[in-house]
Amino acid sequence: MKNRLKVLRAERDWSQADLADHLNVSRQAVNAIETGKYDPSLPLAFKIGRLFGQSIEDIFDDEFQSPESD
Amino acid sequence: MSNRSKSFAGLFYGKNTIHVMNFIFVIMLLGGAAMLADNSFGEVKPLSAIANPLTSAVILILAVPVISYLVALGSNVDRHCAEDYSFQLMANAALVALATMVFFSLIGKLDFLLELIGLREIQANDLVGITLMSWAISFFYFQRKGLK
């Protein structure tokens, strides 16, 4: 799953550790999400959305294509 | 219906997965209880004069769900206290460790294979060591490789 976490973090000039502090998770968790090694749980995804004032869909892209769009 | 869901492998995908897993886990439950009962009536050295095969079997079979429940309660605390990422790493690694332990346990039963490769008998303590090692290795593997 692709995401814009790194971009959003850079816009605020936050380090991974800063973002981890805001989300109350480890820096490793932030790194794993940014590098696509881990998809956050739904509660964490909502937390990220609230923190950046955006919807989950605006931050995460599950690359799902509906049959109609083919 | 896709080709994958029509095939045998398709049984393990999508909405069928839970039914297959339910079946497998019921077999595992009954098989595990049968193994405990069979072992209790086997050539196991009694540690106490009052120990008898039937009470040993009943105690062991009843102890497993009780201890499992307590461990599940402990794991719920872990889940709430630990961050999701760490918990997922730990849980995925534990699954690998469990499968590795079962594999080595089965290998340990194959005397001809142990002789062939020049390995000594695998004992209960070895299985604990194997499980701990495998859990740790898998934990670092998933941390490096990712959880997807």
What is the C-alpha separation between B101 and B125, in angstroms, rounded? 11
Residue-level pLDDT at B40: 83
Residue A40 scores a pLDDT above 80: yes
Closest partner residue to B146 (CB to CB) among A37, A40, A41 is A37
Lowest mean pLDDT among A54-68, B29-43, B81-95, B125-139: A54-68
Lowest mean pLDDT among A58-67, B44-53, B77-86: B44-53
Q: What is the mean pLDDT of chain B?
A: 86
Residue A70 scores a pLDDT above 50: no
Residue type, A16: Q
Residue-level pLDDT at A65: 62
Per-residue confidence band for B85, with pLDDT thresholds at 50, 70 and 90: very high
Mind telling me how many Å the CA of A37 is from chain B's nearest CA? 4
Establish how many alpha carbons lie within 13 A of residue A16's alpha carbon, considering only the half-sphere containing its beta carbon: 11
The residue with tokens 């997965």 is B17
Q: Looking at beta carbons, which residues of chain B come within 8 Å of A43?
A: 84
Per-residue confidence band for B1, with pLDDT thresholds at 50, 70 and 90: very low
Say yes or no for a CB contact (<8 Å) between B147 and A39: yes
What is the C-alpha separation between B139 and B14, in angstroms, rounded? 27
Interface test with A, best of B83, B86, B87, B141 (most A CBs within 10 A): B83
- Joined together, the tokens standing for residue B97 give 């460790």
Give the contacts of B41 (CB within 8 A, at least 6 positions apart): B53, B57
Residue A68 scores a pLDDT above 60: no
Per-residue confidence band for B79, with pLDDT thresholds at 50, 70 and 90: confident
How many residues are given for chain B?
148
Question: What is the mean predicted confidence (pLDDT) over B84-106?
Answer: 94
Interface contact A36, partner B, CB < 8 A: yes
Interface contact A38, partner B, CB < 8 A: yes
Query: What is the pTM (predicted TM-score) of this model?
Result: 0.78
Q: Looking at beta carbons, which residues of chain A come within 8 Å of B86?
A: 26, 29
